[in-house]
Amino acid sequence: MPLPNRWLSSLLMRYNGRMFLVDCGEGTQIPLKLSGWGFKALDTIFFTHFHADHISGLPGLLLTLGNSGKTDPLNLVGPPGLKKIVESLIVISPNLPYPLHLYELPYVKNLGTQEEHGYPLCDQFFFRYSGGNHNIPCLTYSFEISRPGKFNPGLAKELNIPLLQWSCLQGGQTVTLEDGRTIEPHMVLGEPRRGIKLCYCTDTRPTSVMPTFFKDADLLICEGLYGDDENLENAAGKKHMVFSEAATLAKESNASELWLTHFSPALKTPSEFICYAQNIFVNTKVGVDLLSTTLRFVD
């Protein structure tokens, strides 16, 4: 439940002027408002699963988006059953001034895969998903920004490509020249460079594919229902993790940074237990409301 000093777990991302939200439990729109990023630019909401603490805030947020002047489509992405859940919830938020586009992702348990069924995000921004190990279908997400290789002006000159076409090729577009030649980006670009990768994992036990699925993440946001290992059996019984298990996933996947989230209401001061994670993975932070960062390309 949301607490006086702690809202429910969700993730808000902003890229090239568009925003993407993961999960929308009760009251999510309040910290979203406090972020100062506005509402109209919200493009897509991803759902990990359909327990109330991850979706019951949707009707209120949809109404707020309408009141903010949003008219372009809002995309909703989640596991099978999304259509039925959303149709039930929006009974109390009818007549929205913008269309809803629903995308149900086929559930593949414990298999990290890039699915063609996923909603195509902007520019080089895309997502992958994997099945979790919870008591209902639950997805973990990997949000990735690809980065093409460096543009080679020398090659472009050798191929007599007009200067005006360079930016198109640099942006990944194929161009046709006046002499009829077709020039593809790979002909003037170097090897793809390291991009950006953010992974989000909640309401699941560790699975065998997670270290590979999260491999080299710049930021892994992972649940930790309980802080100490004494609660491991309790967490496992509820299909959740403790801090040390999340830290082990971060270490095994060679992540750069770990944020812990999705704490039990019984865990009053999660920061007191951070040692259980930092003893395994040093670069760990305990999530707090409005914790934010900027992820940048590494040259």
pLDDT of the chain, 299 residues: tens digit per residue:
899 989 999 999 999 999 999 999 999 999 999 999 999 999 999 999 999 999 999 999 999 999 999 999 999 999 999 999 999 999 999 999 999 999 998 877 655 444 434 455 766 788 988 888 999 999 999 999 988 889 999 999 999 999 999 988 987 789 999 999 999 999 999 888 899 999 999 999 999 999 999 999 999 999 999 999 999 999 999 999 999 999 999 999 999 999 999 999 999 999 999 999 999 999 999 999 999 999 999 87
Domains of the chain plus CATH, in order, are 11-148+192-286 (3.60.15.10), 151-190 (no CATH)
Q: Is 28 exposed, middle or buried (0-12, 13-18, 19+ CB in 10 A)?
A: buried
Residue recorded with tokens 């109390």:
92
> What per-residue confidence (pLDDT) applies to 192?
86
Token digits for 252? 């095994």
Looking at the DSSP bridge assignments, the partners of residue 21 are 12, 45
Contact predicate 56/49, CB 8 Å:
no
Backbone angles phi, psi at 271, to 5 degrees: -65, -25
Looking at residue 120, its pLDDT comes to: 59
Catalytic (active site) residue 53: yes
| Spatial separation of the C-alpha atoms in residues 182 and 190, rounded to whole Å | 18
Catalytic residue, candidates 43, 53, 203, 218: 53
pLDDT tens readout for residues 89-109: 999 999 999 999 999 988 776
> What is the C-alpha separation between 96 and 63, in angstroms, rounded?
7
Q: SS3 letters for 141-196?
A: EEEEEEECCCECHHHHHHCCCCHHHHHHHHCCCCEECCCCCEECHHHCECCCEEEE
Name which of 2, 46, 4, 9 is nearest 290 in CA terms. Answer: 9
Q: Are 131 and 139 in contact (CB under 8 A)?
A: yes
What does the alpha-carbon distance between residue 39 and residue 45 come to, in Å, rounded to a whole number? 12
How many angstroms separate the most distant Cα atoms in the chain?
72
Model pTM?
0.90
> Given this model, what pLDDT does residue 64 score?
96
Coil, strand, or helix at residue 236?
helix
| Residue for token pair 């992958």 | 128
